[in-house]
């Protein structure tokens, strides 16, 4: 596993991503590519998960083309927001990535060491998720992302895979002795 900078500052604050062995790109770049640059990926995904798309979980049913359009718009907004917060978070303690990321489990209000978190937009159809491990208020390591069309992550294999990656990366960081910002700043990436 490697940690690569995405929207990062020289002081090692910002958004980073995990690059898993055997994968052609890191997890954040993979999400950008699939959600923004590859409409065929989105078409295939929504075709495969059309029952979930039309289940009513997000309101009225929509066409695959509408879902692709919503997804690309949401992805653009999400990644622009993450970039903005990653950069401003080094200048202000009020505008950090913690504004975009929330604990993975709803109702989990206390901060924990290497907390598993998710970022999503506030849009009406907010089905995109970026999953990450929180190192500090303005330092997160992306472990993956998903289009979540169902209520819980345990309901679909592609979401269960994201849970596994969160756990694997958390364990990797512990093994490497990275528990907080000070540890991360001394770690060679």
**DSSP characters over the chain:** -EEEEEEE-TTS-EEEEEE-TT-SS-HHHHHHIIIII-HHHHHHHHHHTHHHHTSSTTSS---HHHHHHHHHHHHHHHHHHHHHHHHHTTT-SSSSGGGTEEESSTT--S--TTEEEEE---STT--EEEEEEEEETTEEEEEEEEE--SSSGGGSHHHHHHHHHHHHHHHHHHHTT--SHHHHHHS--
Considering only residues 152 and 143, tell me which one the structure prediction assigns the higher pLDDT. Answer: 143
pLDDT for residue 123 is more than 80? no
What mean pLDDT do residues 168-174 have?
98
Q: Can you give the residue range of the structural domain that contains 172?
A: 2-186
Range of weakest confidence among 34-43, 99-108, 114-123, 137-146: 99-108
How many domains does the structure of the chain reveal?
1
Global pTM value: 0.93
pLDDT, tens digit, 9 for 90 and up, residues 48-96: 999 999 887 777 788 999 999 999 999 999 999 999 999 886 566 667 8
The chain-wide mean pLDDT, for the chain, equals: 91
Q: What is the pLDDT at residue 41?
A: 98
Q: What is the pLDDT at residue 11?
A: 81
């Amino acid at each position: 596993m490697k940690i690569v900078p995405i929207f990062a500052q020289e002081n090692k604050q910002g958004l980073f991503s995990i690059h898993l062995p055997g994968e052609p790109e890191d997890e954040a770049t993979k999400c950008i590519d699939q959600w923004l640059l590859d409409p065929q990926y989105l078409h295939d995904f929504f075709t495969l998960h059309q029952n979930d798309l039309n289940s009513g979980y997000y309101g009225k049913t929509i066409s695959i083309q509408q879902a692709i359009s919503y997804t690309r718009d949401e992805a653009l907004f999400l990644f622009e927001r993450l970039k903005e917060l990653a950069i401003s978070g080094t200048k202000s303690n009020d505008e950090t990535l913690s504004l975009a990321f929330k604990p993975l489990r709803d109702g989990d209000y206390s901060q924990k060491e290497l907390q598993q978190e998710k970022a999503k937009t506030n849009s009406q159809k907010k089905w995109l998720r970026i999953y990450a491990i929180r190192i500090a208020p303005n330092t997160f390591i992306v472990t993956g992302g998903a289009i979540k069309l169902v209520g819980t992550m345990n309901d679909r294999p592609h979401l269960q895979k994201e849970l596994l990656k969160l756990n694997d990366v958390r364990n990797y960081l512990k093994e490497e002795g990275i528990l907080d910002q000070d540890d991360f700043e001394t770690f060679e990436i």
